[in-house]
Chains A and B, each alone.
Chain A
Amino acid sequence: EVHLVQSGAAVKKPGESLKISCKGFGYRFTSYWIGWVRQMPGKGLEWMGIIYPGDSDTRYSPSFQGQVTISVDKSISTAYLQWSSLKASDTALYYCATADSGGNSGYFDSWGQGTLVTVSS
């Protein structure tokens, strides 16, 4: 059974950097895409991007391109979402999730528990 475990909540100041993680259990990590989804307080879901751990093929939403970096470390079955300079507007709950495909028929079939990121001075 696919199980995704995300890193714990983070509290940061504007301008600081951050890298959150998502570790996969119970499946072949390199065979499934992992994506990231943002949920701002009281709001809906936003697709940020997706990566294929097998070859690190990465696709970003235009809204998040250049704002975040998605990466993986295959050796420890872990995907990452990172910021180089956080803004208060990055305050949100971030989910990782797996997908069979990163293309036009893709959907997320297993989700992590979410990581709350709070950015405040």
Chain B
Amino acid sequence: QSVLTQPPSVSGAPGQRVSISCTGSSSNIGADYDVHWYQQLPGTAPKLLIFGDTNRPSGVPDRFSGSKSGTSASLAITGLQAEDEADYFCQSYDSSLSGSWVFGGGTRLTVL
């Protein structure tokens, strides 16, 4: 059971917009700790996608965007492409776990 809750799967057709939620609590996202997102393509290491709630590292397309409100955060992907099919993980900090970083359980994105 992950501290941050994500839907197990989402899907969308090419060109569509999808959103992946990450729900936490008052000891992590609700305490306004930063949320970060990672993309893990099949058989590869995770890659940083969004940091500090809304920021994209150099090289990440602007089709990917992050937002946060209250105890939840979201990753939005617009103009869905076949190569976006991957697992996506959110990550934050939790003050109730001896100052641990915590990951969401992950969401499998399927491009139909």
Contacts and interface: CB of A to CB of B under 8 A. Distances in A.
Contact of B45 (A59, A62, A113): A113
Nearest to A96: B45
B104 A107 contact: no
Given A44-B2, A45-B106, A107 B99 contact: no
B34 interface: yes
B90 to A, nearest CB: 10
B70 interface: no
Nearest to A108: B48
A120 interface: no
Interface string A91-121: 0000101000001111111111110000000
A97 B36 CA distance: 14
Residue among A44, A61, A110, A114 facing the most chain B CB atoms (10 A cut-off): A44
A105 B45 contact: no
Interface residues of A, number: 25
B97 A62 contact: yes
Interface in A11-53: 35, 37, 44-47, 50
Contact of B52 (A46, A61, A95, A105): A105
Contacts of A45: 38, 40, 46, 89, 91, 103, 106
A105 B48 contact: no
Contact of B33 (A35, A59, A104): A104
B95 A104 contact: yes
Interface in B27-47: 33-34, 36, 38, 40, 45-47
Nearest to B89: A45
B47 A107 contact: no
Contacts of B40: 45
Nearest to B95: A104
Given A45-B91, A103-B99, A108-B91, 9 more contacts: A45-B38, A45-B106, A61-B97, A62-B97, A104-B95, A107-B91, A108-B46, A109-B51, A109-B57
17 contacts: A45-B40, A45-B103, A46-B103, A47-B103, A62-B100, A65-B98, A95-B45, A104-B33, A104-B95, A105-B52, A107-B36, A108-B46, A108-B91, A109-B51, A109-B57, A111-B47, A114-B45
